[in-house]
Amino acid sequence: MSENQQLLADTSERLFADLEVVGEPSFDQIWAQVEHMQLSGLLLPEEAGGFGGDWEDFFTVVRLAGFFGIAAPLGEAIIARYATHKSSWSSKDGLHVIAPSASGELDEKNCYTGEVRQIPWGRNAETVIVELNNCTMRLKKSDAATVEEGLNPAGEARDSFIFDSAPAEITQDKGCISSFGALLRTAQIAGALDRTLGLSIEHANDRQQFGRPIAKFQAVQQNLAILAEEAAAANSAGRAAALAAICLDDAEFEIKAAKIRANMAAGAGTTIGHQTHGAIGFTKEHRLQHFTRRLISWRSEFGGDASVAERLGCEVLEHGAENFWAHLTMRSDQIGDKCNTQ
């Protein structure tokens, strides 16, 4: 980690520790602080008033947001501002977010009729950026015919905007919004898994049964070792995908692989975290639920296991068995070369 990255990590960590979900801060409280730090400009170049960060910086920050369960769409806002800048759209104040997908269609005048679902904190947002059929569009909430509020299982706002022939701003390139969204959820899962691991270790060392801490029982130790392995896998996969996003023009392969692996880890991590905590961790009051319920939710967002795995499987099958290894190594060698030249 470079000095700048370390500084960014330390600063974010201090901020997020104050805003951690366990203290139940309101969205407005959180967002005022995030805006004060100008974190949503993380990926904008310095000349555009941003931090000049890259995807590894992004991973570092949003992983920490996952670690502290920050109840706000920080990563979504960072990606939205990045996409806005890339598309040379006008940049406006307020919250701008991305969404996983949209249904419906665009007409020849670029008017959109359809529904954008699962918009993170859509109720607080001015615009949403989403992919539709290989193009990227930006839509205003004020143009929506209906705004339906919803919540994911962790209680995070996931709203729907329904549009009836509303004007959309369009860029013809794909923009990788859903792919970057998958990288975001991977990073958050990685952070929340490390937190679940930390809480579980703490609990196992504190909780006494049969006259000793439950951490002294091999059955508990072996379970927590698995949790540590799963957290390690999610973190490694996520960070490697972030590095790929820096070094390759198209890192969709790596991001898909990382999201699948993080999804698997989220399942195992939730199970072991709760098993270790016993009934004590099953209450509303206990902080564990803030992280496990997020893990459950994030696994399904921006790419559930089945759909991402099927798409990655198709890509592998297109290359065929003969090129399987050559494909993997060609991509990683390119990343290694880029690291060398930086």
Partner 1 sequence: MQTFSIRSFSTPFDAAATRASIRAFLSEHQPPGRADDRCNSWAVPDKAFSQALARAGYVGMVWPKKYGGGEKHPLERYVVLEELLAAGAPVGMHWIADRQGGPLLLRYGTKEQCEHFMPAMARAELFTCIGMSEPGSGSDLASVRTRGKRDKNGWVINGQKVWTTNAHNAHYMIALVRTVEGSERQEGLTQFLIDLSLPGVTVRPIIDLVGGHDFNEVFLEDVIVPDDMRVGEEGHGWKQVTAELSLERSGPERYLSSLALLLEFIRVNSKSPSSQSKSLIGKLTAELWTLRQMSMSTAAKLADGEDPALEAAIVKDLGNSFEQELPRVLQASADCDLSSDTDFARALALLLQVSPSFSLRGGTREILRGIIARGLGLR
Query: How many residues make up the chain in this entry?
Result: 342
Q: Is 204 in the site for partner 1 (CB under 8 A)?
A: yes
Site string for partner 1, 165-194 (x = CB under 8 A): -----------------------------x
Q: Is 106 in the site for partner 1 (CB under 8 A)?
A: no
CA distance 32 to 114: 32
Per the structure block, which two tokens stand in for 127? 């615009």
Question: What is the nearest approach in angstroms of partner 1 to the Cβ of residue 43?
Answer: 20
Q: Is 248 in the site for partner 1 (CB under 8 A)?
A: no
Of the listed pieces 80-88, 103-111, 138-146, 217-225, which binds partner 1 according to CB under 8 A? 217-225
- Helix, coil or strand: residue 152: coil
Binding partner 1 by CB under 8 A: which of 240, 266, 288, 295? 240
Q: Is 309 in the site for partner 1 (CB under 8 A)?
A: yes
First to last CA, the chain: 13
Q: Is 224 in the site for partner 1 (CB under 8 A)?
A: yes
Of the listed pieces 73-81, 85-93, 143-151, 220-228, which binds partner 1 according to CB under 8 A? 220-228
CA distance 81 to 44: 7
CA distance 192 to 290: 9
Of the listed pieces 25-33, 149-157, 210-218, 282-290, which binds partner 1 according to CB under 8 A? 210-218
Torsion angle of C-alpha atoms 311, 233, 66, 48, degrees rounded to 10 = -70
C-beta separation of 194 from 115 below 8 A: no
Binding partner 1 by CB under 8 A: which of 4, 103, 165, 205? 205
- 78 or 204: CB nearest partner 1: 204
Q: Can you say how many angstroms the Cα of residue 75 is from the centroid of all Cα atoms in its chain?
A: 6
Q: Is 76 in the site for partner 1 (CB under 8 A)?
A: no
Distances (CA, A) of 20 to 65, 149, 182: 8, 23, 22
Alpha helices (H) in the chain, listed in sequence order: 3-18, 27-36, 55-67, 74-86, 177-206, 218-247, 252-277, 288-300, 305-319, 321-341
Q: Is 206 in the site for partner 1 (CB under 8 A)?
A: no
Question: What is the nearest approach in angstroms of partner 1 to the Cβ of residue 7?
Answer: 17
Encode 38-50: b = buried (16+ Cβ within 10 Å), e = exposed: ebbbbbbeeeeeb
Binding partner 1 by CB under 8 A: which of 46, 229, 278, 282? 229
> Which parts of this chain interact with partner 1 (CB under 8 A)?
194-195, 197-198, 201, 204-205, 215-216, 218, 220-222, 224-226, 228-229, 231-233, 235-237, 239-240, 243, 254, 256-258, 260-261, 264, 305-306, 308-317, 320-321, 324-325, 328-330, 332-333, 335-337, 339-340
